[in-house]
Amino acid sequence: MTTEKLPTDVRREQIVASALQVMGENPDKHLHIKDIAQRVGLAPSALYRHFRSRDAIMSAILELIRTKLYSNIETVRQASEDAETRLRELLERHIRVIRSEHGIPRMIFSDELWGQKQEKRQKMFRIITGYLAEIVDIVREGQAKGEIRQDVNPMAAARMFFGIVQPAALLWHMSEGRFDIDEHLAIAWPFFWQTIKS
């Protein structure tokens, strides 16, 4: 076998991205080193040149997920000024991410996260609370501009927003894609927006 040699920083990225993909493609399998290696095109043992352990790869996946989620926030912030469009866009993008990157919900509902020592749960908790904080900011800005009712508790709104996305992800993932997530959005979004708009 003639496998090209590549520098560690490149390999690390490949490995993490592949791991996330593999995870998404095998909804019913534990994530094995062998499978990641195969996807990258390396021998299993080679991965250990770039990560101390399987666990370290899992942590890196969490980082990748954080990046993907937060980039959505930045994008919608820049794409428009008004809260309605921002939130609506964020919702759509979030769903799109979950739909295309099967690996993300898979990771959120996995033993990698729940079945191991605290560390990863904490990491994910911070990712989510940080994400919520960003939504709170968007709501606040919307209130400042008079687009959202003043008597709405921004945290309540943010959590409610999250409450649209998360159960949808759960049901969609659980039903293997049969759950109609678009219909869900079509019903839930207007309901949500009617409730908080000025």
Partner DNA sequence: CCCTCATGTGAATTTAAATTCACATTATAT
Partner DNA sequence: ATATAATGTGAATTTAAATTCACATGAGGG
Interaction of residue 107 with DNA, rule CB under 7 A: no
**Tokens in use for 36?**
């990641």
**Tokens in use for 44?**
């299993």
- Kindly tell me the sign of the dihedral angle through the C-alpha atoms of 101, 106, 107, 112: negative
Site for a second copy in 57-86 (CB under 8 A): none
**Tokens in use for 22?**
């593999």
Choose among 156, 163, 198: nearest CA to 184. 163
Q: Which does 55 bind (CB under 5 to 8 A by kind): a second copy, DNA, none?
A: DNA
Long-range residue pairs from 27-36, CB within 8 A, at least 24 positions apart, any chain: 27/102, 27/106, 27/173, 27/176, 30/111, 31/58, 31/110, 31/112
Site for DNA in 6-45 (CB under 7 A): 6-8, 11, 30-34, 42-45
Of the pair 8, 53, the CB lying nearest a second copy is at 53
Rounded to a whole number of angstroms, the minimum distance from the CB of residue 86 to DNA is: 40
Of the pair 27, 41, the CB lying nearest a second copy is at 27
Rounded to a whole number of angstroms, the minimum distance from the CB of residue 49 to DNA is: 5
**Per-residue x/- mask for a second copy, residues 179 to 198, rule CB under 8 A?**
x----x--xx--xx-xx---
Choose among 138, 150, 120, 35: nearest CA to 78. 138
List residues near a second copy by CB under 8 A: 27-30, 106, 108-111, 113-118, 121-122, 124-125, 128-129, 152-153, 155-157, 159-160, 162-164, 166-167, 170-171, 173-176, 179, 184, 187-188, 191-192, 194-195
